[in-house]
Amino acid sequence: MARSTTDWDQGTGRLRAAGAVLAVCALLVGLGACSDYKKLSHGGSFTDVVIHDILGQDRPPQDYYQYVRDSHKSGDFCYACGDDAFLVDKNIDAVQRLGNAEFGRLEGEAQVLELFTEVLLEDCSALARSSAANSITKIGLKLPAYCYTPVPDDGSRLLCMLRELDCMHDANGRRRACGTGASRRVATLITQIGNLSFDRYLNTRNAIKPFYDRKYLVDETAPAVRSAIDTALVKRMRALIHEALASAVDDREASVRIDALKGLKTLGDRAAADVVNDRLAVETQWLVKSEAIEYFGRVGTRQGVVSLVGLLDDPNASVRFKARTSLVRIAGKDYGARRKAWTYWARQVDPAIDFGDEDADAEGDKTGLPGA
């Protein structure tokens, strides 16, 4: 006898209900089995765990920022003690996700960049430092480049200008004096701060902080002053990126040195040429050498050409090949594998170049080689 439609619907309904119950049970079992999984980075409510840790949806950037902060002690940036066996892994995951985050304000991105530089230079985990180098590079790629003449400072100019700015504003961030003259002076001081160049990394890092911890700068709305703030902050961020990646070129771990060099190469940071050249002179890992060689192929400085020509006689075949490839990129033509041919080319292009076998003036005309 055929089943009625009602019986069929009821049976189907029971099957669907049973399937839903089984799915929920499987999810709960899965959550229980994964309770110690290192990628369950932040916990939270049941919904948070499902959405962010099981389904992999990113959390808000401030969550990852705070997690990295909370993972370390404020005094020495060592990892905080606790019961979490996967604290380091979760911190690395947070750094990687934060590096891919989108930010509504430039000030927030600057604050994250400052945190990344701490991880890059102070974290005890090599993988965390490498992740920070990659995330710093991603931020650098989003920033515009401005041409300006850097003004050397030991930190005293910065303090002087910040004191003047503080005196021009009250505790609520309002300007004490109204009018275009006061706004113009604020914009001038901000522009000058953006143009400063420090010989100490700590000063470079500290020069970013006023842009996000002074209310009158964060809440500024006057178009001319706002433009000056954003431009100066980009300059300060790019300076900090340079300092951090250049410092990491001498990291104790080869993997971190590689990622720092990749960052400098990707950003085309010619200011790091001397640091990279010094590293190349003492480097023993051929993979690190290869990244340094590619860096010089990108920036094409005079000293870089000298180093690349010298590496044509390197015992490692991969290093020799990389050196020749980078020289071809700079010259726009392949002069072969012989060192003598490349030396001749370089001297034709730049008579002041010095390969150490002649009395050439290293400080002579720098208009020869591309990028020299």
Q: Where are the domains of the chain?
A: 53-142, 151-242, 269-349
Determine the Cα angle at 24 with ends 20 and 26, to 5°: 115
Averaged over 296-309, what is the pLDDT?
A: 94
**Span 7-20, pLDDT tens digits:** 545 556 566 666 66
Distance CA 210, CA 330 (A): 41
Return the percentage of the chain with pLDDT > 70, whole number: 80
pLDDT tier at 23, thresholds 50, 70, 90: low
pLDDT band, very low/low/confident/very high, at 264 (cuts 50, 70, 90): very high
Q: What pLDDT, on a 0 to 100 scale, did the predictor assign at position 360?
A: 42
Report how far residue 314's alpha carbon sits from residue 326's, in angstroms, rounded to the nearest whole number. Answer: 14
Most confident among 50-59, 91-100, 251-260 (mean pLDDT): 251-260
**pLDDT of amino acid 32:** 47
* Yes or no: domain 269-349 corresponds to CATH 1.10.340.30: no
Percent of the chain with pLDDT over 90: 67
pLDDT > 90? residue 52: no
The pLDDT of residue 15: 63
Nearest to 307 by CA among 341, 264, 278: 278
pLDDT score, position 183: 93
Q: Is 150 helix (H, G, I), strand (E, B) or coil?
A: coil
Q: How confident is the model at residue 60 (pLDDT cuts 50, 70, 90)?
A: confident
Mean pLDDT on 166-177 = 91
Q: Greater confidence, 329 or 22?
A: 329
More confident residue, 342 or 26: 342
What φ, ψ does residue 175 adopt, rounded to 5°? -70, 135
Exposure string over 234-270, b if 16+ CB within 10 A, otherwise e = bbbbbbbbbbbbbbbbebeebbbbbbbbbbbbbbebb
DSSP annotation of 153 reads: E
Whether 6 shows a pLDDT value over 60: the answer reads no
Q: What is the mean pLDDT of the chain?
A: 86
Q: Examine the pLDDT at 368 and tell me if it is beyond 60.
A: no
Q: Please say if the pLDDT value at position 367 is more than 70.
A: no
How sure is the predictor about 244, in pLDDT bands with cuts at 50, 70 and 90? very high
pLDDT band per the 50, 70, 90 thresholds, residue 169: very high
Q: Average pLDDT of 236-252? A: 97
**pLDDT score, position 173:** 86
Query: Which tokens is 360 given?
Result: 């050439």
Residue 239 has pLDDT above 60, yes or no: yes
- 297, 268 contact by CB (below 8 A): no
Report, as an integer, the average pLDDT of 110-133: 96
**Which pLDDT belongs to residue 1?**
46
What does pTM read for this prediction? 0.82
Q: How much is the CA Rg of the chain, to the nearest whole Å?
A: 28
pLDDT for residue 179: 85
291-298 average pLDDT score: 97
- Residue 303 contacts by C-beta under 8 Å, 6 or more apart in sequence? 273, 274, 277
